[in-house]
Amino acid sequence: MHLTDKKIGFIGTGKMGESLIRGILGAHSDISIYASDVYEPALEKLNNELGISVSTDNAHTIANSDIVVLAIKPQILKDILARIKDNITSDKLVISIAAGVPLAAIEDELNSDARVIRVMPNIAATVAEAASAICTGSNATKEDAEVALDIFRSLGSAIEVPEKLMDAVTGLSGSGPAYIFPVIEAMADGAVYEGLDRASAITLAAQTVLGAAKMVLETGMHPGELKDMVTSPAGTTIRGIHTLEESGIRAAFMNAVIESSTRSKELGK
Ligand SMILES: NC(=O)C1=CN([C@@H]2O[C@H](COP(=O)(O)OP(=O)(O)OC[C@H]3O[C@@H](n4cnc5c(N)ncnc54)[C@H](OP(=O)(O)O)[C@@H]3O)[C@@H](O)[C@H]2O)C=CC1
Ligand SMILES: O=C(O)[C@@H]1CCC=N1
């Protein structure tokens, strides 16, 4: 099975829908993508820039697709599912990326044979560096899971997890890019304070985050050990680390992930 044999439809072309569409087209330029949304200017932009087929009619998108990605807000998911229920036949694979919404809640709104997979990607799909996790619904086959993993691995990395861990994934990697953007901005601010120009400061800060992440992924070393490689005794780095620890950086990041996971659980209720 090749992904390019599949036609993918997007319901919702907001921030995440567009990110996934751009990422998928970057990885598979000849794939057929259909998309619908209520906001016509967003559709026109995607049609003009990417040449994909667009419509304001979700039924049209579904009819043309083998895989239907639900990229709409969790709060309106139930309403939309009720409206598209009879368009989702068992020959289609449904992928929901809605934060918090459990597979059972989605399956309850669809016909009993609906094949559903839940995925938590992140916005870095735009540049094929997303970190995604998937879990499978009661009718999804092994092949469906492979198809979903293929799609999201082509957008970065993807793993399968038990559904009970999806809120933790949401708090960590789903929301995570938004924790790191301010870190990059703030690090650059520090260098601007010290006299570096803004553009150079942002480039150096972003490359520093990218390089640190790549070292963790490629060396397999523990982040603490990598940190120790940078901190010379009585050097510059340990002074910076001391300040960060005084500011409670570890608790701040842990709490961000925990609070975001808690909000994901709330969205599922
Ligand atoms: N943003 C992110 O980084 C991530 C988001 N997610 C999940 O992705 C989903 C989408 O989030 P995001 O892209 O940020 O949200 P957006 O609001 O940017 O996108 C949702 C889009 O759906 C449109 N829409 C509303 N009603 C309908 C309808 N009836 N039919 C078709 N389209 C409709 C909205 O239009 P309008 O605005 O006019 O209402 C909007 O363009 C959410 O469930 C979120 O939890 C998951 C991982 C990361
Ligand atoms: O903030 C949100 O709710 C969505 C889900 C994960 C990232 N953005």
61 vs 54: CA distance, rounded Å: 8
- Does 18 map to a domain? yes
Reported ipTM exceeds the 0.95 cut: yes
Q: Check residue 5 and give its pLDDT.
A: 85
Phi/psi of residue 28, each to 5°?
A: -135, 85
Ligand nearest to the CA of 71: 1
Residue 256, CA distances (Å) to 32, 39, 106, 152 in order: 38, 32, 27, 25
Distance 70 CA to ligand 1 centre (A): 9
Q: Given ligand 1 and candidates 20, 38, 119, which is best to mutate, with the most ligand atoms within 8 Å of its CB?
A: 38
2 vs 62: CA distance, rounded Å: 20
> Can you give the pTM of this predicted structure?
0.97
Q: What is the CATH number of the domain that holds 252?
A: 1.10.3730.10
**Same domain, yes or no, for 159 and 200?**
no
The pLDDT tens digits along the chain (269 residues) read 467 789 999 999 999 999 999 999 999 988 999 999 999 999 999 999 999 999 999 999 999 999 999 999 999 999 999 999 999 999 999 999 999 999 999 999 999 999 999 999 999 999 999 999 999 999 999 999 999 999 999 999 999 999 999 999 999 999 999 999 999 999 999 999 999 999 999 999 999 999 999 999 999 999 999 999 999 999 999 999 999 999 999 999 999 999 999 999 999 98
Ligand nearest to the CA of 11: 1
- Does 172 map to a domain? no
Ligand nearest to the CA of 20: 1
- Does 20 map to a domain? yes
**Same domain, yes or no, for 74 and 183?**
no
Which two tokens mark 51? 């040449």
C-alpha angle 97/90/57, rounded to 5°?
Answer: 60
Boundaries of domain holding 246: 177-267
Residues forming the annotated binding site?
11-16, 58, 71-74
231 vs 238: CA distance, rounded Å: 5
Residue 69, ligand 1, Cβ within 6 A: no
Domain count, the chain: 2
Sign of dihedral through CA atoms 172, 77, 37, 146? positive
**Same domain, yes or no, for 34 and 102?**
yes
Residue 170, ligand 2, Cβ within 6 A: yes
- Does 251 map to a domain? yes
Distance 238 CA to ligand 2 centre (A): 34
Q: Check residue 2 and give its pLDDT.
A: 63
Residue 57, CA distances (Å) to 10, 40, 87, 160, 186 in order: 11, 11, 12, 32, 43
Q: Check residue 125 and give its pLDDT.
A: 97
Question: Pick from 167, 193, 224: which residue ends a domain?
Answer: 167
Q: What is the CATH number of the domain that holds 10?
A: 3.40.50.720
